[in-house]
Amino acid sequence: MTHRLTHSVGHWMPRDRKVVERWLARMIEHVTDNPKPLHPIIEDFKDLIEGDPEIFMLFHMMFDQVPRKYKDDPTGAPQVRDYHLMLRLFNEIMTRAPEYMDNALVGFPINAILDWPMGTSAGFAAFLNPKVNAQLEAMLGEWARFLGSPDSRYVLGDEPKTGWFGKAAMKAMPDFDTTFVCQPRAPYHGFSSWDDFFTREFRPGQRPVACPDDDAVIVNACEASPYCLAAKVKPRAQFWLKGQPYSLEHMLAGDSLTPQFVGGTVYQAFLSALSYHRWHSPVTGTVVKAYVEPGTYYSEAQSEGFDPAGPNFSQGYITQLATRGLIFIEADNPSIGLICFMAVGMAEVSTCDIRVYEGQHVTKGDPIGMFHFGGSTHCLIFRPGVTLDFDLHGMKPNVNNSVNIPVNARIATVRS
């Protein structure tokens, strides 16, 4: 990458690092003053840590290895110092939905809890461990069930500063009522849960498909901002190094279709916390394969150093390791041929929900799936020999773009 992104990329975390520190200090004070029994899922996590000698060692070392200057925030408030406090904080998160905070949204609360330990060598090893990731998957799945229940709707109120339909949030999401499918006069705007709100849909006509009758035009699969554009991608690369080159065999999990993309092009873009989280087909064609590849949740590239909101600096790296949804589509236009849409789960719940099946014919702009709370980056992968003129709407990849290219807008045109 030629430029580093700020930790507020996509507005998942506050621009001001001190806001995260104050939020975490309040959480620590709350769980300390209000102890409660651990959820069974969190008890299981505790048993895993204490019952496996390697994991036990890593979860001690990751906190010991945090530089001393980061063990207290600038105000002197205590930060997370051991796995016992980490688990109590996780326990509290299990029954919380993210509140809106003006310029201070902590959209990745678990990420904030693990902030510094993730960047240590012990944390790097721990969050690559399959047993740890299986436990994280179970924990995040339980949280997802809460976010999908009516109990999570309490944040969808009109409280001026913290409600998602309050004055501050509506200023950040202008024209919400006319842009998204909702019931403005109904309680919670008609949304049945936090997840229902997060996966909201555009009203008809809001995101028209660019050049619907021209199969040379490829459209944006997500409402997202350009992150990287890479050509002549290699089958294997040392993706954990500075620059995070794409490594196709790892990205595509060794799929038998991988050789067709060697030497091709990868376009990656990230989604905003305040935006739209459904995926649409970039081309008209037939679904060849569609499946979810399990992976990691909190692994980040050590080459990026201490990332104040990891894995924001590691978006190239996580395309090889994180849980991801792979949808291969054979475009009707032979000049495009086989492409791959890859949705990458980035921290937190990171559920990749595929809504198409093998053999299904899709039209450009058709819905093909969605992220549930947490997913925030995706790739389009093209074969070598496919000559593309990209239209990034005046933005450049690899810089801190803050403007989304609308879903279904032109993203590229293939030359015959």
Identify the residue whose tokens are 């796995």.
Answer: 83
The single-letter code of the amino acid at 324 is R
Q: How far is residue 398's CA from residue 4's CA, in Å, rounded to a whole number?
A: 8
Identify the residue whose tokens are 């992976």.
Answer: 295
Residue at 73 is within a domain: no
Say whether pLDDT at 263 is over 90: yes
Residue at 42 is within a domain: no
Residue at 283 is within a domain: yes
Residue at 318 is within a domain: yes
DSSP E strands, 294-366: 324-331, 338-344, 352-354, 361-362
Torsion of CA 370, 372, 377, 381, to 10 degrees: -30
Identify the residue whose tokens are 């769980």.
Answer: 31
Q: What is the pLDDT of residues 109-120, one digit of tens each?
A: 887 788 778 878
Residue at 145 is within a domain: no
Domain that holds residue 222: 217-414
Say whether pLDDT at 406 is over 80: yes
Q: What is the pLDDT of residue 266?
A: 93
Identify the residue whose tokens are 């950040």.
Answer: 172
Q: What is the mean pLDDT of the segment spanning 163-174?
A: 89
Q: b vs e for 366-391, b when ≥16 Cβ sit within 10 Å of the residue's Cβ?
A: bebbbbbbbbbbbbbbbbeebebeeb
- Residue 186's CB is within 10 A of a number of other CB atoms, namely 9
Strand partners of residue 412: 218, 390
At residue 3 the predicted structure's pLDDT band, cuts being 50, 70 and 90, is: very low
Say whether pLDDT at 400 is over 80: no
Percent of the chain with pLDDT over 90: 55
Q: What is the pLDDT of residue 116?
A: 78
What is the domain count for the chain?
1
The DSSP result for 167-204, as a single string, is HHHHHHSTTHHHHBS--TTSGGGG-SSHHHHHT--BPT
- Residue 12's CB is within 10 A of a number of other CB atoms, namely 25
Residue at 116 is within a domain: no
Residue at 112 is within a domain: no
Q: What is the pLDDT of residues 58-92, one digit of tens each?
A: 999 999 888 765 555 544 555 788 999 999 999 99
The DSSP result for 9-31, as a single string, is GGGSS-SSHHHHHHHHHHHHHHH
Q: What is the pLDDT of residue 9?
A: 43
Q: What is the pLDDT of residue 23?
A: 79
Q: What is the pLDDT of residue 386?
A: 96
Residue at 66 is within a domain: no
311: CATH:
2.70.70
311-314 long-range CB contacts below 8 Å, 24 or more apart?
A: 311/118, 311/346, 311/347, 312/5, 312/7, 312/9, 312/10, 312/12, 312/13, 313/4, 313/5, 313/7, 314/244
Burial of 58 (0-12, 13-18, 19+ CB in 10 A): buried
- Omega before residue 311 within 30° of 0, cis: yes
pTM reported for the whole predicted model: 0.87
Say whether pLDDT at 186 is over 90: yes
Q: What is the mean pLDDT of the segment spanning 5-16?
A: 46
